Structure 1
Amino acid sequence: MYRTLAAALLCALFATPSASARDVPPDLASQLNSQLQANRERYGIAGQAVLVAHNGQVLYQGASGERDPATHAPATVDTIFAAQSMAKLLTSTLVMQLVDQGKVDLDAPASRYVPALPSTWHAIHVRDFLNHSSGIGEYYDRVDNRWVSKGYTGVAPDLAAALKVAGSAPMQFATGSRVQYTQANYLVLTALLETHYGKPYPAIARERILQPLRMTSTSWGAASVPAQRAAVPYIGKDGQLQPANEDPWPHYGWGHADLQTTVGDMNRFLQALATGKLVRTATLEALWQPQTLTGGGSNFFSTGWDTTRSDGYTQVGHDGGTRVRARLAYKGTLASGYWVFVYLTNGSARNAWSSTLVESTMAVAAPGEFPHAALSERLTGYALTGDSSSESSLRAWLSENSGIASNELERAINATGYAIRNNLGNRPALKVFALNTALYPTSANAWDSLAECHAALGEKETADRLYAKSKGLAKTSP
């Protein structure tokens, strides 16, 4: 079951003179319907809803599968999914608004705005809490499949107690030296917002984001969702779907988790950001730059947004575990054009990476704009169904039409091999790693990845031989 927008939207888009618009296939709705079905079959997705937009125009909305497999209730584009940690995008945006207004300095200690923070955190900057580079500990542990704060039978009863629990834990690393994704970081930001506005976090988010954007299907906590619209969360175990049976997060944790939303609402949110309705676009573009870590390298979180740079695009967004992801992609500046991709599911038998799901839609919507996504999708198809004839055509495409520079192609194929290994298993991935060694026979890294895959399959003799080959090539490489 699929619902798509009128063809008039596509016609309007084609009037746009950008390369991105010209790259959109004329039968996009049919192609994306097929892609959703392929993803369901590949990964065992229970139910899903997808939205693709370009420069403010929705090109596609579709849904398939079941929002509740137990009752066979179908998923629709109006189904409300548990988006979990995508809640952090709202919190980050609320903080960025204060930065944009000159009321918060990201490079000032968070204790300037939240004096009651644990004393050991008083020198940690706001930016480090946003970017998960603070080094602080967590406010709970997983005990008997439940979240339990130290000293309590469950999670801490309120925000102050939760911060105290996290503050009593030893620092995990020197602030700013590396990244460790920690929910407690966003408790600090929740406290900052509540201190500044003098009201509870949900009220702040509703007043400043949800109500102005008419995000009427977005809330927190499964109990807030009408049963007839709720997608029941599932999880994969031994290749089979089973109910997730997740504990609800405490109300004070809604700044980091338990978001419930639809593809349409997430599109409204990302469109508002891209057009400067929530934060000035110049501010966003500055804040979506990578943080340089003192331990070397860059942080892949930029003001809390999961950020990658690929194919000339800055791609920002967030996931909600393996089930959901929202992504905004722009080249250079937001004014030069942008894409929105929202992919929501209620779980898959294989716990497929949400980034893989989003990239499968990018590959269909604009393969020329996102060649790395197109490569991933082609290699996944080859891994599952490819034979000698399909390998021949794949090789020809890789050498002539992939759109990826030859000096990047080996690494891109290798990365896709690992994604396939995680999402579909070792045997399909083996074909991709073997193809890479055939294309790059002098690459020590390609042979090492192939050896690792054989080892994971329990084929020790073959793995040892290939590891030896890899080591030999590494010694002779300049």
Structure 2
Amino acid sequence: MNRRFRHALLCLLVFAPGLCDAAVRHDPAERLQQQLRIEQQRYGIVGQSVEISHDGKPLFQGVDGASDLDSGQRVAADDIFPVYSLAKLFVSTLLMQLVEQGKIDLDRPASAYLRDPPESWKAISVRQFLNHSSGVAEYYTPEQMAGTAEANASFPASLPAALAVAAARPMQFAPGSRTRYTQTNYLVLTQLLETHYGQPYPRIARERILVPLGLQRTWLGRDGLPARGVVSAYRGQDGKAQPMPDVIWPAYAVGHSALYMSRGDLSAFLRAVAAGELVSKATLMQLWQPLTLPGGQRGEFLGGWESGDSGSYRNVGHDGGTVVRARILFNDSLDRDIYTVVYLTNGSARNVWSRTLVDDLMGVLAPQRFPTQALADRVAAFALRASDDARMQAFADSLRADRSVEKQQLERTINNTGYALRESHGADVALRAFLLNTRLFPKSANAWDSLAETYEAKGDLADAKAARRKQQALSTPSR
């Protein structure tokens, strides 16, 4: 075993990247490949494939793990992954093209562009469908997602039938007042595109996205998928990776799901979007402006793309289930300093959210540019190891001395990391993060509230009661 591999293995086993030798620390590709192994150990990821580009040039391409557990086949760079709801990015891009051409007004009712829309939806705007703020109900039930032959056969027979099913159900809220992610929104947009072009949606996507970009390892739906080179999908159950239920989406659903892509194709698509090749940069910047809903809630989607912040960068993108993510990161414009990130997995034992994986990688790649993400990775590494009081105090002291993140953001990041760990690893691991936060911020009612809540979740009522008393005392205004 050579020296570099021995040190990388040590870092992997103890979740402590800081122990790696200088060659690993200063080689971004080594650091990122090592991080893939760390993520596999933390979350039981079956297989993963990653590409990060900066200003259109690949910085890192890496794979790790198995494409199939039964055969033991390893993930290859050109393997095809189910990318699920990333299908919506094709639909949103096609809609943005029509907006740019002046053929669609996002603030007009979608009914102006459709034939025979449901009567109760006639006032809902295109933008509200695009940004999941329409309030319309889902067209299927959780029982239809079981993946059995009976469940698969129970989907509505056609797109109009699916819309009729959704329209017959009560609205979830008044259009434009909130955000609620619903597949039905993208059935409406798929129908809008088909009405405008007079063609089936798969042909529209091929002619306007796949062919211009030369995407040859992309499939809308299962038809034509090769027999080899497609990864098997898994989900976490009882702490183990189990085969994912085989949901057979109907043909009309390919505008919101059932998309299969290689890492290279998805990266090429993201880079083309960021470069303004499909929609101009000016139009993208206009459609990606932050949006505030009437109740003061921040709009979670902009032009159909999930939006958020990563340090000083803004990000837009989408996830596919919990397991894959595409993200574009930029500052004030799309002219320079643009990152595109593709993180594909085929599932994990811990059902880790893909946003956690992307954030961890960006924190490892550029901790000075993404200090919050680097901090979250450090906190997770700390919490995932058994801890005593001395070790917790030493880690707390190191965070106090670290000026890369201001105090309010430090507390918020530790708290968010605690909840993410509680979801993936349970209350015992999460407690270490919440206890750390109360040590760093003993006068924060929110820190004590999170700790009390987690004690309650694990049935530790005495400690929960003590933490709740602290929280209530800090929440009571002094007289």
TM-score when normalising by structure 1: 0.91
2:448 paired residue number: 447
1:455/1:463 contact within 8 Å kept = yes
Asked whether the 8 Å contact 2:144–2:154 carries over to 1, the reply is: no
Residues in 2 aligned to 1:155 and 1:429: alpha-carbon distance in whole angstroms = 39
What one-letter code is carried by the residue in structure 2 that aligns with 1:401? D
1:257-272 matches, within 5 Å, as 257-272=257-272
Distance in 1, matches of 2:243 and 2:403, equals: 40
Residue 334 of structure 1 aligns to a residue whose secondary structure is coil
Q: Distance in 2 between matches of 1:302 and 1:134?
A: 14
Q: Is the 8 A contact 1:147 1:154 kept in 2?
A: no
> Which residue of 1 is the match for residue 42 of structure 2?
42
Instruction: Answer yes or no: is the 8 Å Cα contact 2:323–2:352 preserved in 1.
Output: yes
Give the structure 2 partner of residue 119 of structure 1: 119
Residues 194 and 200, structure 1, Cα contact 8 Å, conserved in 2: yes
Counterpart of 2:66 in 1: which secondary structure?
strand
SS of residue matched to 2:242: strand
1:238 is the counterpart of 2:233: no
Change (3 A) 1:305 1:70: same
- Secondary structure of 2:67 counterpart: strand
The alpha-carbon deviation at position 382 of structure 1 amounts to 0.5
Distance (whole Å) between structure 2 residues aligned to residue 214 and residue 144 of structure 1: 35
Distance in 1 between the 2:59 and 2:275 partners?
A: 18
- Provide the rounded CA distance (Å) in 2 between the counterparts of 1:397 and 1:287: 41
The answer for the alignment partner of 1:412 in structure 2 is 413
Task: Name the stretch that deviates more: 106-115 or 26-35.
Answer: 26-35
> Residues 115 and 195 of structure 2 are in contact (CA less than 8 Å); yes or no, is this contact kept in structure 1?
no
1:310: Cα distance to partner? 3.3
Measure the CA separation in 1 of the matches of 2:360 and 2:350. Answer: 16
Q: Cα deviation per residue 1:358-417 (whole Å; 9 max; x = unaligned)?
A: 111111111111111101100011011264565455334423435222232211211111
User: In the alignment, what sits opposite 1:355?
Assistant: 355
Distance apart, 1:101 and its partner CA: 1.0
Alignment-derived partner of residue 91 in structure 1? 91
- 1:157 is aligned with what amino acid? A
How far is the alpha carbon of 1:447 from its aligned partner? 0.5
Match of residue 16 from structure 1 = none
Q: How does 1:336-415 map to 2 (within 5 A)?
A: 336-385=336-385, 387=387, 391=392, 394-401=395-402, 403-415=404-416
Q: State the shift of 1:80 in Å.
A: 0.6
Amino acid at match of 1:405: E
* Structure-to-structure mapping, 1:67-216, within 5 angstroms: 67-143=67-143, 145-146=145-146, 154-216=154-216
C-alpha distance in structure 2 between counterparts of 1:315 and 1:145, whole Å: 30
SS at match of 1:470: helix
Deviations 1:272-327 (A, max 9, x none): 11111011111111111233222322111112111002312111111111111111
Secondary structure in structure 2 of the residue aligned to 1:105: coil
What amino acid is aligned across from residue 302 of structure 1 in structure 2? L
Q: In structure 2, what is the Cα distance between the partners aligned to 1:43 and 1:407? A: 28
Give the number of aligned pairs: 453
Letter of the 1:255 counterpart: G
Q: Which runs of 5+ in 2 are unaligned?
A: 1-23
Please list every run of 5 or more consecutive structure 1 residues that lacks an aligned counterpart in the other structure: 1-23
Q: 2 CA distance for matches of 1:457 and 1:32?
A: 35
Instruction: Name the stretch that deviates more: 400-409 or 265-274.
Output: 400-409
> Structure 2 length normalisation: TM-score?
0.91
Using the TM superposition, give the Cα deviation of residue 237 of structure 1 relative to its aligned residue in structure 2, in angstroms.
0.6
Distance in 2 separating the partners of 1:348 and 1:455: 27
The answer to whether the 8 Å contact 1:451/1:467 transfers is yes
Q: Which runs of 4+ in 1 moved over 6 A?
A: none
369-378 or 417-426, which deviates more = 417-426
- CA distance in 2 between counterparts of 1:288 and 1:90 reads 16
